[in-house]
Amino acid sequence: MFMRYEGTAWEERFLPRLTSKQVKELPKEDALIVLPIGAIEQHGPHLPVMTDTLIGEATLTQALAKLPPEANVWLLPPVSYGKSNEHLGLPGTISLSAATLQGIVMDIAESLKLSGFGRLLLFNTHGGNVDLLNVVSREIRIRHGMTVFYLAPSSLGGAEGLIDPEELEYGIHGGDYETSIVKAIKPGWVQDEFLVREMPNVGDKRFLTLEGRIRFAWRMADISASGICGDATKATAAKGEIIQGRITDTLAEALVELCAFDVSDVRRGADSKAGAEVPS
């Protein structure tokens, strides 16, 4: 079970536990700073409003424990609030505006740059943050010259063979996937007597999707009466443990790669290839 502020991630890789002197003396060239960004928003009658932030914290806690000791990866305190205005009006939702969230992330990036860091990973666990954080990533690159990465852990897979295709396509909020993970990391925070199944009525559409191909703008009230999109009744802690194990194994490997990545290598690689094709 996940315990906040315990384990390797918080004792050995939590940047704010260092002194200013220690931060100054850290080797910066390959240092990767991880900024978790989540949300506090309704997740139906059965999941805590902290679900997205909780999943992000637990995933990083587990993944950072799997890193080799020499990996120069450092964790920041989570930005627990996100752009959740699609859920406003549903009890428990606390949302930042797009401008506020952008300002917070930009300010954090600038502060890191002034401390000598050049690599930042925006680690996002809320769907409503995705578009904004992709824009912000590029703004940080342009304004501060930092190497910026964006990652949502769900993009790493992990649910293959465990979650059915309909759920993977439409179960985007509080369904089998998220409920299984919360059952695995904080089982006491799931209200089993209120598990819900509600799927959005877009399965007959050829092109329209909630997230993907052709999107349409929606508020949660437009697509769900319960505040859920998915089938939470199928969730099990066993599935959640497998998903988290797979994701955190992959994430640990990915973080090592991000520490070694140099964006200028992309350009040099292209130039070398192009040069090799030019006859002498």
- Give the pLDDT confidence of 11-70 residue by residue, as tens digits: 999 999 999 999 999 999 999 999 999 999 999 999 999 999 999 999 999 999 999 999
Length of the chain: 280
What is the C-alpha to C-alpha distance for residues 86 and 67, in angstroms, rounded to an integer? Answer: 36
Report pLDDT for 111.
98
- Would you state the pLDDT for residue 205? 82
Do residues 2 and 58 lie in contact, with contact meaning Cβ atoms separated by under 8 Å?
A: yes
What residues pair up with 119 in beta bridges, in sequence order? 147
Assigned token pair, 147: 């190497």
How remote is the C-alpha of 263 from its chain's centroid?
22
Contact assessment for residue 227 and residue 43, using Cβ atoms and an 8 Å cutoff: yes
Query: How far apart are the C-alpha atoms of 27 and 92, rounded to whole Å?
Result: 41
Total-model pTM: 0.92
Residues in Cβ contact with 217 at an 8 Å cutoff, skipping those fewer than 6 apart: none
Contact 223, 210 (CB under 8 A): yes
CA angle 65, 146, 71 (to 5 degrees): 20
Ordered domains of the chain (ranges, CATH): 8-261 (3.40.50.10310)
| Segments in the chain below pLDDT 70 | 212, 268-280
User: For residues 104 and 83, what is the distance between their CA atoms, to the nearest angstrom?
Assistant: 12
> What is the structure's pLDDT at 278?
46
pLDDT score for 3: 83
C-alpha 185/C-alpha 208 separation (Å) is 34
Asked whether 149 and 118 are in contact (CB, 8 A), the reply is no
Burial degree of 7 (CB within 10 A; 0-12, 13-18, 19+): middle
State phi, psi for 172 to the nearest 5 degrees.
-90, -5
